[in-house]
């Protein structure tokens, strides 16, 4: 007991010393404390945006800005009562499509030029290019609605158009944006002029879309080729013949048609040997060149659909591929020539336009467009394109 009483003050003194004294790290500690750095460590720069972690940050940022501009413009048009909803379409099924049709006048940059403009450092994938151009086409469809909204904003001071990012690429790459006159912007945020009053919605959309348009060698950014029913399917030569071409697989055909009534009578007393409305393929009659009835029916099918059998003299030159593909190529060329002949006659006033045009009839029959199907190639180790050799166990 006496020994325990003598040890008690020593224990209390040791406990007091361990709690009050500053702990000293021994040299052989299991977890040594890291010494404070003698000089300041430079801060690691942070990425400009979260799109920096993607494979193509400038493309992702530009696509995000375009979608944001599309949503902002649609919301403004919805508040003006021009769209049924923010996500409503402006295509052929839109409410005001007959009054405010989609312009479809712009031709966008090619994929390589678009990648160079976006500074992606690599080529755009086809899916990325398709997604980008689809967003631009949706923005273009809002132009007629934006013009109406701007006219309403002149009478209503509360209908102020929103401010859009007119240069999303400048914001994505960190470059300063300039206005349409080429003067640099004083705004702290690239691509958006916050100091100047917001312009009309139509002007902002037009300025935004102009940055992605394809400029031809002549300097014009509009599409030079006509679209839809204005697209020419053939041409007429100096002799009054309508010329058109068609293809199927590896076969290519060129067809000339001439109304049988305008053709001169052949120098023979026996007109049964040279009837009007004959079809000549590679300087041979139709039965001689296509002995099979199915091939002959495929050639004259365009004329039978428009009730013009025997009404035209048809001259065709075809080469390549097999007999079946040549028959389909001649049929496509003949259908295009018939549609073009009717268009020329109606425009020049020699023929009254019917309730249904020949072009619509032939288009519904899929005779104006080339069949894209091709023969699948043979693969190594296969007997044919897909057939494999017979497997033998022994």
Using the CB atoms, write b or e for 158-186: b if 16+ within 10 Å: eeebebbbbbbbbbbbeeebeeeeeeebe
46 or 222: whose pLDDT is higher?
46
Confidence (pLDDT) at 1: 52
Is 62:168 a contact under the CB 8 Å cutoff?
A: yes
Residue 328 predicted with pLDDT over 90:
yes
Locate the DSSP E strands across 112-154.
none
Q: How confident is the model at residue 280 (pLDDT cuts 50, 70, 90)?
A: very high
Report, as an integer, the average pLDDT of 290-294.
95
> Is the pLDDT assigned to residue 179 strictly greater than 50?
no
Q: What percent of the chain has pLDDT over 90?
A: 32
Place of tokens 């508040």: 79
Enter the CATH code of domain 230-263+275-364.
3.30.230.10
Report the mean per-residue pLDDT for the chain.
79
pLDDT tens-digit map of 17-74: 555 545 555 555 555 555 555 677 778 887 767 777 777 888 888 888 999 999 999 8
Question: What's the pLDDT tens digit per position in 115-139?
Answer: 888 888 788 888 889 899 989 988 9
- Residue bearing the bigger pLDDT, 217 or 302: 302
Q: Which residues are CB-contacts of 193 (< 8 A; sequence separation ≥ 6)?
A: 163, 166, 177, 179, 185, 186, 187
Ordered by start, the domain boundaries in the chain are 51-210, 230-263+275-364
Whether the per-residue pLDDT at 316 is higher than 90: the answer is yes
For the cut 70, the answer to whether the pLDDT of residue 217 exceeds it is no
pLDDT at 346 > cutoff 60: yes
| pLDDT tens digit sequence for 142-173 | 888 888 888 887 777 667 888 888 888 887 77
The beta-strand segments (E) located in 62-189 are none
For the ranges 27-36, 86-95, 221-230, 268-277, the one whose mean pLDDT is highest: 86-95
Does residue 180 contact residue 196 with C-beta atoms inside 8 Å? no
């Amino acid at each position: 007991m006496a020994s325990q009483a003598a040890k008690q003050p020593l224990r209390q003194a040791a406990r007091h010393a361990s709690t009050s004294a500053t702990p000293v790290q021994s040299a052989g500690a299991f977890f040594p404390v890291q010494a404070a750095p003698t000089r300041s460590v430079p801060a690691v720069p942070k990425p400009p945006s979260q799109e920096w972690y993607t494979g193509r940050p400038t493309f992702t940022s530009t696509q995000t800005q375009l979608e944001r501009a599309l949503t902002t413009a649609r919301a403004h048009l919805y508040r003006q009562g021009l769209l049924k909803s923010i996500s409503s379409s402006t295509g052929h099924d839109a409410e005001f499509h007959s009054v405010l049709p989609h312009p479809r006048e712009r031709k966008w940059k090619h994929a390589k030029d678009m990648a160079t403009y976006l500074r992606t450092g690599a080529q755009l994938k086809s899916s990325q290019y398709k997604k980008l151009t689809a967003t631009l086409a949706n923005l273009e469809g809002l132009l007629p609605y934006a013009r109406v909204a701007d006219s309403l904003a002149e009478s209503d001071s509360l209908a102020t158009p929103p401010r859009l990012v007119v240069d999303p690429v400048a914001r994505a790459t960190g470059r300063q944006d300039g206005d349409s006159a080429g003067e640099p912007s004083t705004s702290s945020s690239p691509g958006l002029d916050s100091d100047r009053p917001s312009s009309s919605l139509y002007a902002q959309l037009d300025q935004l879309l102009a940055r992605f348009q394809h400029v031809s060698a002549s300097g014009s950014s509009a599409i030079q080729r006509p679209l839809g029913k204005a697209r020419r399917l053939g041409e007429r030569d100096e002799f009054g013949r309508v010329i058109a071409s068609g293809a199927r697989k590896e076969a290519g055909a060129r067809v000339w048609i001439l109304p049988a009534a305008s053709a001169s009578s052949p120098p023979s007393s026996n007109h049964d040997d040279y009837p009007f409305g004959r079809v000549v393929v590679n300087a041979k009659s139709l039965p001689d060149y296509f002995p099979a009835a199915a091939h002959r029916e495929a050639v004259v099918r365009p004329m039978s659909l428009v009730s013009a059998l025997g009404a035209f003299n048809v001259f065709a030159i075809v080469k390549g591929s097999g007999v079946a593909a040549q028959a389909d190529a001649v049929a496509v060329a003949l259908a295009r020539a018939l549609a073009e002949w009717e268009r020329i006659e109606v425009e020049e006033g020699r023929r009254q336009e019917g309730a249904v045009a020949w072009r619509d009839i032939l288009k519904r029959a899929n005779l104006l467009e080339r069949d894209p199907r091709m023969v699948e190639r043979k693969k190594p180790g296969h007997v044919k394109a897909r057939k494999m050799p017979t497997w033998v166990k022994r």
